[in-house]
Chain A
């Protein structure tokens, strides 16, 4: 269902933070869709890369709940093609960093079964705690 969104100071602050973290001027995005059309993983994403740019520009912080930035493989196809020379993958990374710094527990260590713990690569376990180290 389409919902009404509010343009808030907090949202504007969010845009500034993502721009600072990524070093990209997100308001420059023309919404031409070149990034999405060329993205090799776009079918795995819930919203398209250009939507990530749009939502961030409008300060819609629910962009952080999208899967897209985690699907992004930083292959730079979008970066190479953007007619405004924006580095979309840097914006993706900035969003990932922002999400991680919220330090929300995604996994409780107790919930991992013994079998899983044995099978899981150790790097995956370490990554689960990355929120404290990023």
Chain B
């Protein structure tokens, strides 16, 4: 072979050597490997002296690969990799054998078991490292191009922050003006600033900024994803007004609007005031341009050809023939700021929304209150007004468990504004819990109480409309006085909760963004990566990630901008070399793997063979199981390496011993086993733990091979769904295990021998319980006969 492996057995100042007989381990390795290994026992491998030892040995050319048998790789893998590089070796021809957490600490009271286990662990690492190959990180160049999807306050804030630092920003908004929901609100809580007044300067900044390209009335048609390299197709829909860019030609004389015969619901007035088919969205719209809405304009209706506006226009800028424009652009990073939709209260008939004239949404109430002080307000509110909290929030009947966080305070705001404008109005807020958690919120709530707004603790059950007065009767228990109130109201305002905007779905789909259980977009980590997503280069800002108010949204938008800056500042990005690859000779072009990679990282090349797009691959290994010819494999975790590890790990087993092989995913299961060691928690010594990139990497063949080599049971571990590094791996694992179980039954292997468990980092006792349970259940099993073993797997 010509290869020699350096094996360092670390005493860890007694932590390892007081339990494990390292001399015996050394003797064992010598016997097994003879001249192929060079073994050294040292007190502290992680110390400067230990690192120097590795470096010097490498430099003197004693060996060309290394096994460090010490603590868990999560502590000092980086340290030892650095020592390898200093000595002049590739860091990937190193393996760490976990003697401390998995052997000496866990089996502190059973030195013999610890020593046997240590031998197996070191053997497996030596067997694997012999097949390790040098790997290098690939570098890819980046530009400074950012796509921001959504022109609400989140998108605007992110765009301005990034544009101010010189990034090339493209902002895409599906509506004809930017501003989002904030442009609809009357005032903001708790300070009662005029919403439109505080957002409109930011809106014009976006329009005027030299580094921002703004596409309104535009939709994302497609995004083809590379990580940190995205190609987006944007459809800039026709406004049917000439010229496209220059405003000078149109005089904004309003003649077209006055002449238009169509009247329809105006989104920016929430139907409180109607608009025409040709219109300027809002008084402070950006861009401030007319648009014709082809949905309602009679010119677009079949069999009609109304052109009153075009005829009356003195500048002749109306162009019904105008077509959509398709724009294709490449971006390095994307910020998804697609925001929320309010809960559609027609989904729950009990409120009578859409059926009863005097039941309105909070967003409609924003506009009603906005106009309330006008001499002739478009809508009166009457004498008695009810606010109903938690409409479409905290309601499992409709699958929305979460609190929408803003409804309590916007109801307090609307009630206060109404009370201030019309002090004679009798206002009741029906709530379940009033959550005034933010800065100045509690004070604002108190102020409303002082103004005479009545807060009643109870969730209304019945809503009926009086046939003549159109008043709405509400039945509700006041859960504080324990009396049931049944009373009539002139206006009922529903505090609609938030849900992810429907427009987000196609974008989440293009980018393969995961959703959390509440249906909002999922962040990469709830604590440390709140604006990152699992897709590198894609960030989230605002309510697309979950309900939040304006200050939180702005803070998060700036956070997303800074994360984009950090990413772009690197100028180039490196790709972790743990990637899937295809053996071109073995691949028969069956295409089965293509659908099994949810990242779309696998495609067919011109030779009709599969090829892995390295920029996309996440290195989970889930594709490998789908390959019938074993052409697919994963660097650093190749099938050959894992087979060799399994073989070595189980080869020392005596006939009367049992072995539970644990395929532990690197993120959760392996760490749980580490944490058990740290706490000196004991579990059965029959376990042998093998580190895996994910549970999806554990193929049918690997499992069969393990049984062939003497495993009595297998535990495949991965993270709980919410903590999965790669969202689909546990699904793949479950599928593989199902097939493996069927194979065992077919081959006549008695008993239930394959287990799957999802762990989180704290599931220590569950790990112990699981392996104990497995250990108990395999006690009674007949050993698998060698004939049956042979039939399980062709590999020797």
- Residues of chain A at the chain B interface (Cβ within 8 Å): 30-38, 42-43, 47-48, 50-51, 77, 80-85
Known: A38-B462, A48-B484. A83 touches B479 (CB 8 A): no
B479: which A residues are within 8 A, CB to CB? Answer: 31-33, 36, 50
Out of B390, B395, B433, B458, which one reaches A37, CB within 8 Å? B458
Known: A37-B459, A48-B484, A51-B482. A82 touches B477 (CB 8 A): no
B576: which A residues are within 8 A, CB to CB? Answer: none
Contact between A82 and B397 (Cβ–Cβ < 8 Å)? yes
Contact between B396 and A37 (Cβ–Cβ < 8 Å)? no
Known: A37-B475, A37-B476. A81 touches B461 (CB 8 A): yes
A50: which B residues are within 8 A, CB to CB? Answer: 477, 479
Q: Bits for B313-356, please: 1 = Cβ < 8 Å to A, else 0.
A: 00000000000000000000000000000000000001000000
Contact between A48 and B459 (Cβ–Cβ < 8 Å)? no
Distance from B327 Cβ to chain A, minimum over Cβ atoms (Å): 45
A-B contacts, 8 of them at CB < 8 A, read: A33-B478, A36-B461, A36-B484, A37-B475, A38-B475, A42-B477, A47-B482, A81-B350
- The answer to whether B460 has its CB under 8 Å from any CB of chain A is yes
B397: which A residues are within 8 A, CB to CB? Answer: 80-83, 85
| B394, B397, B476, B479 — most chain A CB neighbours (10 Å) | B479
Contact between B396 and A33 (Cβ–Cβ < 8 Å)? no
Is the contact region of chain B dominated by helix, strand, or loop, or is it mixed? mixed
- Residues of chain B at the chain A interface (Cβ within 8 Å): 350, 390, 394-397, 432-433, 457-462, 475-479, 482, 484
A33: which B residues are within 8 A, CB to CB? Answer: 457-459, 461, 476-479
Contact between B396 and A32 (Cβ–Cβ < 8 Å)? no
Out of A30, A31, A37, which one reaches B461, CB within 8 Å? A37
* Cα–Cα distance between A37 and B430 once the two chains are bound (Å): 12
* Cα–Cα distance between A35 and B462 once the two chains are bound (Å): 10
| A32, A50, A51, A80 — most chain B CB neighbours (10 Å) | A32
A82: which B residues are within 8 A, CB to CB? Answer: 397
B461: which A residues are within 8 A, CB to CB? Answer: 33-38, 77, 81
Closest to A80 in B: B397
Known: A32-B458, A50-B479. A84 touches B484 (CB 8 A): no
Distance from B456 Cβ to chain A, minimum over Cβ atoms (Å): 10
* Cα–Cα distance between A43 and B477 once the two chains are bound (Å): 11
A43: which B residues are within 8 A, CB to CB? Answer: 484
Please give me the 6 A-B residue pairs with the lowest Cβ-Cβ distance, nearest first: A38-B461, A33-B477, A37-B461, A36-B477, A32-B459, A33-B458
Contact between B394 and A83 (Cβ–Cβ < 8 Å)? yes
Contact between B396 and A84 (Cβ–Cβ < 8 Å)? yes
A47: which B residues are within 8 A, CB to CB? Answer: 482
* Cα–Cα distance between A43 and B484 once the two chains are bound (Å): 8
* Cα–Cα distance between A50 and B478 once the two chains are bound (Å): 11
* Cα–Cα distance between A110 and B176 once the two chains are bound (Å): 84
* Cα–Cα distance between A84 and B401 once the two chains are bound (Å): 8
User: Can you name 18 extra interface pairs (CB under 8 A) apart from A31-B432, A33-B457?
Assistant: A30-B433, A32-B390, A33-B461, A34-B460, A36-B458, A37-B458, A37-B460, A37-B461, A37-B484, A47-B482, A48-B482, A51-B482, A80-B397, A81-B461, A82-B397, A83-B394, A83-B459, A84-B396
A32: which B residues are within 8 A, CB to CB? Answer: 390, 432, 458-459, 479
B433: which A residues are within 8 A, CB to CB? Answer: 30
Known: A83-B396, A83-B397. A34 touches B482 (CB 8 A): no
* Cα–Cα distance between A35 and B460 once the two chains are bound (Å): 9
A80: which B residues are within 8 A, CB to CB? Answer: 397
* Cα–Cα distance between A84 and B461 once the two chains are bound (Å): 14
Contact between B459 and A34 (Cβ–Cβ < 8 Å)? yes
Distance from B106 Cβ to chain A, minimum over Cβ atoms (Å): 37
Contact between A48 and B396 (Cβ–Cβ < 8 Å)? no
A30: which B residues are within 8 A, CB to CB? Answer: 394, 432-433
Contact between A83 and B484 (Cβ–Cβ < 8 Å)? no
* Cα–Cα distance between A38 and B462 once the two chains are bound (Å): 6
B476: which A residues are within 8 A, CB to CB? Answer: 33, 37
Distance from B462 Cβ to chain A, minimum over Cβ atoms (Å): 6
Contact between A37 and B432 (Cβ–Cβ < 8 Å)? no
* Cα–Cα distance between A34 and B432 once the two chains are bound (Å): 10
Distance from B145 Cβ to chain A, minimum over Cβ atoms (Å): 46
Distance from A13 Cβ to chain B, minimum over Cβ atoms (Å): 26
Closest to A77 in B: B461
A37: which B residues are within 8 A, CB to CB? Answer: 458-462, 475-477, 484
* Cα–Cα distance between A82 and B398 once the two chains are bound (Å): 11
Closest to B395 in A: A83
* Cα–Cα distance between A63 and B172 once the two chains are bound (Å): 60
Distance from B478 Cβ to chain A, minimum over Cβ atoms (Å): 7
Distance from B391 Cβ to chain A, minimum over Cβ atoms (Å): 11
* Cα–Cα distance between A80 and B433 once the two chains are bound (Å): 21
A81: which B residues are within 8 A, CB to CB? Answer: 350, 397, 461
* Cα–Cα distance between A81 and B477 once the two chains are bound (Å): 14
Closest to A81 in B: B461
* Cα–Cα distance between A47 and B484 once the two chains are bound (Å): 11
Distance from A81 Cβ to chain B, minimum over Cβ atoms (Å): 6
* Cα–Cα distance between A42 and B478 once the two chains are bound (Å): 13
A38: which B residues are within 8 A, CB to CB? Answer: 461-462, 475
Distance from B167 Cβ to chain A, minimum over Cβ atoms (Å): 45
* Cα–Cα distance between A77 and B475 once the two chains are bound (Å): 13
B460: which A residues are within 8 A, CB to CB? Answer: 34, 37
Contact between A48 and B477 (Cβ–Cβ < 8 Å)? yes
Known: A32-B459, A34-B459, A37-B462. A85 touches B484 (CB 8 A): no
A31: which B residues are within 8 A, CB to CB? Answer: 432, 479
Closest to A30 in B: B432
Distance from A28 Cβ to chain B, minimum over Cβ atoms (Å): 10
Distance from A26 Cβ to chain B, minimum over Cβ atoms (Å): 16
* Cα–Cα distance between A80 and B349 once the two chains are bound (Å): 13
Distance from B408 Cβ to chain A, minimum over Cβ atoms (Å): 14
Distance from A51 Cβ to chain B, minimum over Cβ atoms (Å): 6
Distance from A30 Cβ to chain B, minimum over Cβ atoms (Å): 6
* Cα–Cα distance between A95 and B788 once the two chains are bound (Å): 58
Distance from B742 Cβ to chain A, minimum over Cβ atoms (Å): 35
Distance from A79 Cβ to chain B, minimum over Cβ atoms (Å): 10
A85: which B residues are within 8 A, CB to CB? Answer: 396-397
* Cα–Cα distance between A34 and B461 once the two chains are bound (Å): 5
